[in-house]
Amino acid sequence: NLPKLIHISETSSTNTYMHDLLAREEVPEGSCVWADFQTAGRGQIGNVWESEAGKNLTFSIVLYPTFLPANRQFLISELSAYSVKELLDRYTSDITVKWPNDVYWKDRKICGMLIENDLAGQNLYASVSGIGINLNQPEFRGDAPNPVSLYQILGHEVDREKLMKEFLDIFYANYLLILEGREEELQDKYLKSLYRKDGFFVYEDANGRFEAAFDGIEPTGHLLLRLKDGSRRRYEFKEVKFIL
Ligand code: BTN
């Protein structure tokens, strides 16, 4: 059962479309729903994801990593974010992965993702990676703080379908690393790609701002930061902000 690439012109959200499809029929692993326009694109923590019609890539891919314990679901974030970096590296430089799963060009966000995992007991069942990559959008009007598109970086448009297909090849090849038990190679690539990997930067948590350096990521996905006095802090997603 080969994965399908379903290209539709419009839907509310490709993640929702994929979940509805999964409820109705058997969907081969690796299948992708790709929409030219989302009327209600969903972002992290209930935000909306704005993307001009026909300009960018907004898609969702389903995997069935049933062999992965639920506490290793961060691997799917690493897979998805690193694969976008690998794609964009073919077109420009200065692409990094911002923990946990944004992709940045310099200090600006070029891609966001919403990964929704269903569990079956202690293990993962279906995992839907919903990915939005800003490709040909000339300008951003929404209230996202620091968006950028590949068009703004390169000064010309790119072929969306070509990048969609290139991405899927990269994503499947990296997923194979997990299937073959070589996930350490993937984790290594993810770590090497990280935004603000070296040196001290300003962060903010519930207690205020502080300077810290990256000190690692736990298998659960928690971020470890090291302060100048040598003390360490451990964060869950959304407990800490990166300050410019
Ligand atoms: C974020 O950075 O807040 C996450 C944005 C995720 C957007 C993508 S676009 C394709 C998929 N469908 C959605 O509704 N959201 C994700």
- Give, in degrees to the nearest 5, the angle at Cα 168 between 162 and 169: 90
Within this chain, do residues 73 and 176 fall inside the same structural domain, yes or no? yes
Long-range contacts of 184-190 (CB under 8 A, 24+ apart): 186/75, 186/78, 186/79, 186/82, 187/75, 187/78, 189/82, 189/86, 190/78, 190/81, 190/82, 190/97
Ligand 1 pocket, residue 35 CB under 6 Å: no
Rounded to two decimals, the pTM is 0.97
Of 192, 214, 230, the residue that ends a domain is 192
Instruction: Look up the domain containing 38 and give its range.
Output: 5-192
Element at 74 (helix H, strand E): helix 74-89
Of 173, 192, 211, the residue that ends a domain is 192
Q: What is the CATH number of the domain that holds 222?
A: 2.30.30.100
Q: What is the CATH number of the domain that holds 12?
A: 3.30.930.10
Within this chain, do residues 142 and 215 fall inside the same structural domain, yes or no? no
User: What is the ipTM metric for this complex?
Assistant: 0.99
Within this chain, do residues 134 and 237 fall inside the same structural domain, yes or no? no
pLDDT at 73: 96
Tokens of 37: 């326009």
Within this chain, do residues 205 and 182 fall inside the same structural domain, yes or no? no
Site to probe by mutation for ligand 1, drawn from 37, 47, 49 as the one with most ligand atoms within 8 Å of Cβ, is 49
pLDDT in tens, the chain (244 residues): 899 999 999 999 999 999 999 999 999 999 999 999 999 999 998 888 999 999 999 999 999 999 999 999 999 999 999 999 999 999 999 999 999 999 999 999 999 999 999 999 999 999 999 999 999 999 998 778 899 999 999 999 999 999 999 999 999 999 999 999 999 999 999 999 999 999 999 999 999 999 999 999 999 999 999 999 999 999 999 999 999 9
Of 192, 213, 228, the residue that ends a domain is 192
Are residues 186 and 78 in contact, defined by beta-carbon separation less than 8 angstroms? yes
Q: Which atom in ligand 1 lies closest to the alpha carbon of residue 111? A: 2
* 74-to-83, 125, 219 alpha-carbon distances in Å: 14, 14, 7
* 197-to-81, 94, 142, 164, 169 alpha-carbon distances in Å: 15, 13, 29, 28, 27
Within this chain, do residues 106 and 162 fall inside the same structural domain, yes or no? yes
Ligand 1 pocket, residue 41 CB under 6 Å: yes
pLDDT at 46: 81
Ligand 1 pocket, residue 237 CB under 6 Å: no
Total number of domains constituting the chain = 2
Within this chain, do residues 238 and 172 fall inside the same structural domain, yes or no? no
